[in-house]
Structure 1
Amino acid sequence: MKIVEFLQPAAVVDDLAGTSGPAVLGELARPLAEAHGIEPQRLLETLLEREKLGSTGIGDGVAIPHGKVPGLPALMASFGRSRRGVDFKAIDGKPTYLFFTLFAPENSAGAHLKALARISRIFKNPAFRDSIMKAADAAEIFRLIETEDAKY
């Protein structure tokens, strides 16, 4: 499974405006909601419910908010970069700059876990994270993710 199978270029936000976790998650839900005809609030609530269980801020400036959505036909994702950083209650206590949201169909545990593992794997690379932070725009961010993902 490749990340580009569930992340589309239109779902990459290169400069998140939100200064709080919920605001950022709302921004990241919007392009997916529009592209798939889903109510944005439904996606946002899915992410907020998951965050109540514990932050998906995995540290090193990265968060992977995720959740399952009943009726969703397939995996879908969005990515966003915050140049200022957001207090996302990450496990290392540091600001979060890179947000990769993942939504999965209700009965897709295997695909959901494989996708989370793949996302986590590519974002463990400090040089890759740095290149994402320096990218000029959303198109370059998508190309960087696509290139890094092809290595695995």
Structure 2
Amino acid sequence: MRRQAMLPPFDSPLDPATLEGMAAASSAAGSTGGALNEVTSEQLWVGFIAGVFPFVWAGFEFWKRIDVQQRCGVCQGSGLVYENASGKSLSVPRKCYACGGFLPWAGWRRFWLSNLDIGNGGVLQRPAADYEALSEAAKRRRAGREGGRAD
């Protein structure tokens, strides 16, 4: 037994009269040059800028965080510290308390394992409010230790 195609009833919105009316309206719009459907160059530029801007902004923010981490005197740019702010040695390295430890230059394994300890601040940390002071103090301590060993 052969199945027949299901056709919409004639009182539906897709009846032949409606389709002919839609075709006539479409051809009428086409005869006016299609001005109603045309996209202007201003719309294209606004759409382009709206689409590209978030990526440019994100690139700027990423670069800023990478720069902060690379200049950090506490972790020396690795993103991980082996002692806390009070100087107590840690059993597992943690994200830097000064710069926030944005990228794992020391290795992905250490970076992800540093998140397992409670009190590490979560996955993403912002640089400390006193980042510059912490970084300079760490650089001075390191310079003092290296100067003491050379004597």
TM range (shorter): under 0.3
Question: Could you say which structure has the larger radius of gyration?
Answer: 2
TM superposition score normalised by structure 2: 0.22
TM superposition score normalised by structure 1: 0.22
Larger relative contact order (CA 8 Å, sep ≥ 6):
1
In terms of fraction of residues, the more strand-rich structure is 1
